[in-house]
Amino acid sequence: MECAFAITGKDFVLIASDMSAGRSIIQMKSNENKITPVGPNLAMACGGEPGDTSRFADYVDRNLRLYHIRNNFPLPPPSAASWVRRILAESIRSRSPYAVNVLLGGFDTTTSKPHLYWLDYLGTKADIPYAAQGVGMYVTLSTMDKWWYENIERREALDVLNKCVDEVKKRVTIKFDFNCVLIDKDGVHSLDLKSQDPIAELEAKVAAMKPSDPEPIIPSSDAPAIAAA
């Protein structure tokens, strides 16, 4: 039982995912991060069979990193999505398929456009402005249908995202905690949904970091995982 959703805006993508890990009715962890950055401007939320999800996220991450190292240029989001889709499509007809559903969000720095892909374990791919997966699909899709609009700004998009979180808390019987990332031209940033103004915090952080600390061309392999909320 998991729940993830994502929203694209004018020049960014927001991805939120629950952080619960457990088996059947027992929850063993409430701060498991399920959103993996898989490139300088690319992140992926994985749901599905617990073991498969982390293996798959790792596999994608390392292959995309290899591409980045070999070509000194990261694979842009549309191509990355096609690649991930192919892995899943080949996997479903193999002897040990990955049971993984993916939301892949990224910012294409070459065209300055945000991208969001909805992928399921069969290798189905949809290129859509907002998406949801898992049990939250039944309540958050309608929320996003109502509130999302084209070229939505960051704060408004975050409001929509919070509306979705509230809806899940209100309508889904399982208790979820969420973490969230924002992907834009500067990279993948984690957002603290509990803070008063996460966007202001993010802007401050980016402003403080930029002049002295330029983005590394190749992200280091042991870059800290996104902080659990």
Partner 1 sequence: MEYNGGSVVAMIGKDCVAIASDLRLGQQSVGVAMNFDKVFPVNDKLYYGLPGLATDVYTLREQLRFRVNMYRMKEEREITPKTFTHLVSSTLYEKRFGPYFIEPVVAGLPSPTELDPHPKPFISTMDTIGCITTPKDFAVAGTASNKLFGVAEGLWEPDLEPEDLFETISQTLLNAVDRDALSGWGAIVHVITHDKVITRQLRARMD
Task: Name which of 188, 142, 180, 132 is nearest 158 in CA terms.
Answer: 180
Q: Judged by CB under 8 A, does residue 56 bind partner 1? A: no
Which residue, 131 or 160, has its beta carbon nearer to partner 1? 131
SS3 of 196, please? Answer: coil
Q: Judged by CB under 8 A, does residue 189 bind partner 1? A: no
Which residue, 7 or 88, has its beta carbon nearer to partner 1? 88
- Give rounded-to-5 percent helix, strand, coil for the chain: 35, 30, 35
- For the bound state, the minimum distance from the C-beta of residue 44 to partner 1, rounded and expressed in Å, comes to 17
Q: Judged by CB under 8 A, does residue 127 bind partner 1? A: yes
Task: Name which of 210, 163, 166 is nearest 189 in CA terms.
Answer: 210
| Residue choice 124, 171, 210, 216 for contact with partner 1 (CB under 8 A) | 124
Which residue, 126 or 225, has its beta carbon nearer to partner 1? 126
CA angle 88, 85, 130 (to 5 degrees): 120
**Integer Cα distance of 200 and 17 in angstroms:** 21
Q: Judged by CB under 8 A, does residue 5 bind partner 1? A: no
- For the bound state, the minimum distance from the C-beta of residue 116 to partner 1, rounded and expressed in Å, comes to 11
- For the bound state, the minimum distance from the C-beta of residue 2 to partner 1, rounded and expressed in Å, comes to 15
Q: Judged by CB under 8 A, does residue 128 bind partner 1? A: yes
| Residue choice 23, 93, 95, 170 for contact with partner 1 (CB under 8 A) | 93
Task: Name which of 85, 80, 51, 82 is nearest 63 in CA terms.
Answer: 80
| Residue choice 125, 165, 167, 186 for contact with partner 1 (CB under 8 A) | 125
| Residue choice 85, 115, 154, 189 for contact with partner 1 (CB under 8 A) | 85
7, 69, 92, 156, 197 from 227: Cα distances, Å: 20, 26, 32, 23, 17
| Residue choice 1, 89, 174, 229 for contact with partner 1 (CB under 8 A) | 89
Rounded to 5 degrees, φ, ψ at 66 are -60, -45
SS3 of 117, please? Answer: strand
| Residue choice 6, 15, 75, 88 for contact with partner 1 (CB under 8 A) | 88
Question: Which residues, 6 or more positions from 138, have their beta carbon under 8 angstroms from its beta carbon?
Answer: 171
Residues in contact with partner 1 by the rule CB under 8 A: 85-86, 88-89, 92-93, 118, 120, 122-128, 131, 137-138, 141
